[in-house]
Amino acid sequence: MSHPVWLTLSSLLLFFLGYRMYSKYLAEKVFRLDPEFQTPAHEFRDGVDYLPTNKFVLWGHHFSSVAGAAPIVGPAIAVIWGWGPALLWVVFGTIFFAGMHDLGTLWSSVRSKGQSVGVITHSVIGSRAKGLFLLIIFFLLLLVNAVFAVVIANLFTGFPESLLPYWLQLPVAMSIGYLVYRRGVGLFWPSVVGLILLFTFIFLGSQMPVQLPESIAGLPTTGWWVIVMLLYGAIASRLPVWLLLQPRDYINSHMLFLGLGVLYLGLFFAQPEFNAPFFNRDVPEGTPDLVPLLFVTIACGAISGFHGLVGSGTSSKQLNKETDARFVGYFGAMGEGLLALVAVMATAAGFASLDQWSEHYGTWESASSGGVGAFVTGAGSFLASLGIPVVIGTTFISIMIVAFAATTLDTSMRLQRFILSEIGEQYQVRALKNINISTIVAFLSCIALAFLADPANPGQGGMVLWPLFGTTNQLTAGLSLIVMTLLLWHKGRNYLVSLIPLVFVVTMTAWSMVLGIADYMNQGNIMLVIVGILILALNLWMILEGLLAARRHRSQSITTDYGRDV
C-alpha cells in the first residue's frame, strides 16, 4: 500500500472518530441541542426563506453552498510548502476548528430566531459592534459574489464542455422541487432520476462543447458571463428555497459525494507515490512564509468565516429540529474536509513525476494562480486508473467545480440581501428592508466592483481585491468565535472549545494581514493598503469591543434580541 493511500485511510478514520465522538460531545454537553426546541423554520415559516427541511436535503444545501471551489484551490496552492503541513491543517482544522465553528454558529442563530451572526453580535457585545460586523460581512460577501462570478466565467470559457450540463440541471432541479414540495412525491426516485439526468448531461457536454466567440458586442465573453451569473444569482435569491436552492443543492451534493467516491477509488487503484515533498525547504523565491500564510490559504477545508454566514444566514431558517444541527453543521464541515483531503492528495501525488510537479510549483505566482488546473491534472490521473476517458473525466471535474461555485454564488447573493436588510434596520435606512430593493442593491454593488474596479479587464474587477479575501474570511471566522465564546462563557459551559480556536485564528490571520499590507506597500498598491488597513482596524475594534463586553457583562446572563436565554 502506497504512502498516500495509507495516509488517506488514516485521515478518513480520524474524520470518522471526530464526528462520532467530538461532535457528539459538542452537541450534547456544550451546545445542548434540544429536539423539542421550536426552530425558526417552524416559527416563521413563509415558504420563501423559512421552511422546515429534511436534514439530508438541508445538509445538501449547506454543504453545496459552503464548498465552492475554495476547498480545492486552497489545498492545491498550500502544497507548495509540502503536503505534510497542508494535510495536518486540513485534518485537525476540520475536526477541532471547522466542525465546532459551523455547528456553533448554526446553533446560536437558531436560538436567535434565525438572525445572522452579525445581528446576534448586538445582544452579546453591543450595537456598535453589530454595525461593524455587518459592514465586514457585507464586504466579504461582495468579494465572494464578484470573484465567484469570475471563476465560473473562466471555467465556462476554459472548459466549454461544462456549459451545457450546468444550465440543463436547473430545470431538472426545479422539477424535483415542485414534485417533492407541491405534489408530495418522496425524495428517493426524483433524486435518482435527477442524478441520472445530470450525468447524461455531462456526457452530452463532453460530446458537444459550446464554443463562444472571444468577445460579443465589444465585451469579452467572460464579462458577459459575469453579468449573466450575477443576474442569475440575484433572481435565484428571490425564488422560494424549495423551488431551486434546496433541490439543486441536494442533487449537487449527491454528485459531489459520488465524485469524491470515484476520486478516492481512483486513488486507491492508482496506488500513487508522493511527488511533492513532505516539507518543502526549497520553496521558490517570493513564496510567503509557511506560518502564518498556510492558515489563511487553506480556509474552506479547515475553518472559514463564510461557513458561519451560511449557517446563520440560510441554514438556520430551514432547520427542522435543533438536533439536526449536528449533522448539518458539523458533518457539513466534514464534507469539505473530505474534498480538501483529496485535493491535497491529487496535487501531491497525482503528477506524473517530481519534475512535472516542480514545473507547476516553480514560482509562487504559478502555484497561486493554477490551483484548479493542478487539481484537474491530479484528479484526472486518479480517474484514468479506473479507465475513465480523459475528456469525460475532466468534464465531470469541471462541472463539479462550476456547480458548486454557482451554488455558493446564489447562496451568497441571498445572504447579501439579508445583510443589507439588517444594515437598513441598524442604520434606519428603510428602503433596504424592502426585499426587492435589497436584491437590486446587492446585484448592482457586485456589478460595480466587477466592472469599475479594473476597467481594463471588464468583469474581472473583483480580482483586484481578491488578495484580501483569505484574511477577511478568516477574521470573520474569528469574530464569529468571539460571539460564540461569550455565549458559552455566560452559560457556564466549556468555552475553551471556541476560545482556543479563536486565539489561534485571530493571531494567525492578523499576522498575515500585517504582512500582506507591508507587501502591498512595497508593491505600491495603494488601494489594497488602504482597504487592508481598514479591514484590520475594524477587526481589531471588534476584538476590543468583545473584551469590553466580557468585562462589562461578567456577572450578567445574555439573552438574544428576542428575549430568549440562549
* pLDDT tens sequence across 148-173: 888 888 888 877 888 888 899 899 99
Report pLDDT digits (tens) over 502-532: 999 999 999 999 998 998 899 888 888 998 8
Cell 456589478 maps to which residue?
447
Handedness of CA 135, 140, 143, 149 (dihedral sign): negative
Q: What domains, with CATH codes, occur in the chain?
A: 3-552 (1.20.1740)
pLDDT given for residue 337 in this prediction? 94
- What is the reported pTM? 0.87
Highest-confidence range of 91-105, 201-215, 352-366, 482-496, by mean pLDDT? 91-105
Q: Is the pLDDT of residue 191 over 90?
A: no
CA–CA dist 66, 72 (Å, integer): 12
Report pLDDT digits (tens) over 280-336: 988 898 888 999 999 999 988 899 999 999 999 889 999 999 999 999 999 999 999
Report pLDDT digits (tens) over 447-490: 999 998 888 888 888 877 777 888 888 889 998 999 999 999 98
Three-class HEC string of 457-469:
CCCCCHHHHHHHH
CA distances to 14, 62, 311, 542 from 111, in Å = 30, 18, 12, 22
Give the ranges where 159-187 is alpha helix by DSSP (H).
163-181
DSSP classification of residue 559: B
Contact 46, 239 (CB under 8 A): no
Helix (H) or strand (E) holding 216: strand 215-216
Phi, psi of 53, rounded to the nearest 5 degrees: -135, 140
pLDDT given for residue 2 in this prediction? 62
CA distances to 291, 523, 537, 547 from 511, in Å = 9, 19, 13, 19
Q: Which residue has the higher pLDDT, 476 or 402?
A: 476
CA–CA dist 69, 405 (Å, integer): 6
pLDDT exceeding 90 applies to what percent of the chain? 40
Q: How many CB atoms lie within 10 A of CB 492?
A: 8
Contact 398, 164 (CB under 8 A): no
Report pLDDT digits (tens) over 124-148: 888 888 888 888 889 889 988 988 8
Q: Is the pLDDT of residue 258 over 60?
A: yes
Q: Which residue has the higher pLDDT, 417 or 128?
A: 417
Contact 314, 346 (CB under 8 A): no
Q: Is the pLDDT of residue 194 over 80?
A: yes
CA–CA dist 167, 176 (Å, integer): 15
For the segment 29-47, the average pLDDT, to the nearest whole number, is 94
Q: Which residue has the higher pLDDT, 243 or 323?
A: 323
Q: Is the pLDDT of residue 358 over 90?
A: no
